[in-house]
Structure 1
């Protein structure tokens, strides 16, 4: 079995198509098909359900996909281990929740120091990003914490205040029963905090409208469509212009911590170590500047 066969297998599994995998890898389709058949012969088991529209992993294929990801990830780690530690390079895959106010400063400082590193950013909700780090699809991620998981370690980035945001300057708990809640998809840490509070208070929302981006949510709130929950720092400018208004949540639901997570058993490359160093340096600077 060759490492390249595992890369071909992963591509076919991801796309569910030999033709799309061939296009991605710049191979002819017959070569991709032949390598998959050779892999199945060597493992003595089919790996896909084949149908007219493509290919779907069977149970054995899913097992191999998990192992192949780990094997190829270790290969990448081995290569990175021999890079120049004083001059990191390569691709750093980072997950983000969209409202991390500290992120631009961290990215700007890191990029200016290590221009040879290509930053690849993936936005999503906390639960999704957490799973991608566990599956080693991301090198690390900014998520809502704290997180307790045996495979993960975390660095605190910033503590913030969660607020309810409306178009009007008045708010009562009854508003949640008469106006839609505009929230991120399930798995969002902010949404989870709001749902915990509503459960304790026995509040049943009128309607929950799910959105994928901060811009869409806050724009809809400003248009008077409904209410959302978000870190106060994310709407400072809009509040200053009286575009939206913030309303406090009760303790202990108002405090939120953003953390950076990584899989603790994965090789800590110099590229990622330098990124974590930037996070720690910024956090320490913020603490010094606090009155």
Structure 2
């Protein structure tokens, strides 16, 4: 059994078809098929159910996939440990919630200093990003602080104040209780905080509307569509131009920390180590006004 056989098996299990897996590896389909047959012969058991829509794992295939994932992850960690260089290089995949005010400065300073690193950034809500870091799909992520999985370690970035915002016509908190709640999807730390306030106030929002980007939420609030709960730092431009009104809630709802999470058991390469050092250096730096 070769590592490449396991990689091919893992990819077929992920994609569900020989065609998709062959395309991913730039192999001919017959090569993928023969590798899977070879693996099934060696283990003396069928690993896939074949059907018109593709392939699905048998119970034995599911067992193998679990071991396969562990073996390939450990192999990757081994390579990182053995091949680690003083000069950061290679891929660095980072996740972030949308409102990390220091992020542009952190990323800019990092890529200017470490030009051999291929840095990519994806956005999402805290719960989704935590899951991706746990499953080794991201090297780390900026998220709102919560009770994290024990396999994760966190590095504090900064603390912020969340504010309830409305359009500039609304003046009191009482007026806001009947307004639609505009928010990110389930798993967002800011959403969870305002939902806790709603519960404690015995308020049931008449409507909850989910959006994909912070900018869309802020613009929608400004035109009177509803209210939202976001870091004060994200509202500066809108508040300065008189487009919105900010309302303060008690500290137990409004004080929130942004942290950088990573797996505690992965090898700390020079690439991720210097990224954490860059966070520490820049997290207290003044924000450049736009």
Count of aligned positions: 286
Q: Unmatched 5+ residue regions in structure 1? A: 287-291
Change (3 A) 1:217 1:280: same
Alpha-carbon RMSD across the aligned residues, in angstroms, is 2.0
Question: What is the TM-score normalised by the length of structure 2?
Answer: 0.91
**Which residue number in structure 2 is paired with residue 38 of structure 1?**
38
Give the stretch that moved more between structures: 100-109 or 52-61: 52-61
1:233 aligns with 2:259: no
Give the stretch that moved more between structures: 66-75 or 125-134: 66-75
* 1:149 Cα deviation after fit: 2.7
SS of the equivalent of 1:78 reads helix
Task: Determine the C-alpha separation between the residues in 2 that align with 1:195 and 1:278.
Answer: 34
Q: Deviations over 1:185-226 (max 9, x none)?
A: 100111111111111111111111112222222222223211
* 1:280 Cα deviation after fit: 1.4
Task: Determine the C-alpha separation between the residues in 1 that align with 2:81 and 2:170.
Answer: 56
8 Å CA contact 1:13, 1:56 repeated in 2? yes
**Which residue number in structure 1 is paired with residue 122 of structure 2?**
122
SS of the equivalent of 2:283 reads helix
Task: Determine the C-alpha separation between the residues in 1 that align with 2:8 and 2:176.
Answer: 50
Change (3 A) 1:42 1:113: same
**Which residue number in structure 1 is paired with residue 269 of structure 2?**
269
**Which residue number in structure 1 is paired with residue 194 of structure 2?**
194
Task: Determine the C-alpha separation between the residues in 2 that align with 1:83 and 1:250.
Answer: 50
Task: Determine the C-alpha separation between the residues in 2 that align with 1:243 and 1:204.
Answer: 26
Give the stretch that moved more between structures: 124-133 or 8-17: 8-17
8 Å CA contact 2:165, 2:247 repeated in 1? yes
**Which residue number in structure 1 is paired with residue 218 of structure 2?**
218
**Which residue number in structure 2 is paired with residue 90 of structure 1?**
90
Q: Unmatched 5+ residue regions in structure 2? A: none
Change (3 A) 1:86 1:284: farther
**Which residue number in structure 1 is paired with residue 25 of structure 2?**
25
Question: What is the TM-score normalised by the length of structure 1?
Answer: 0.91
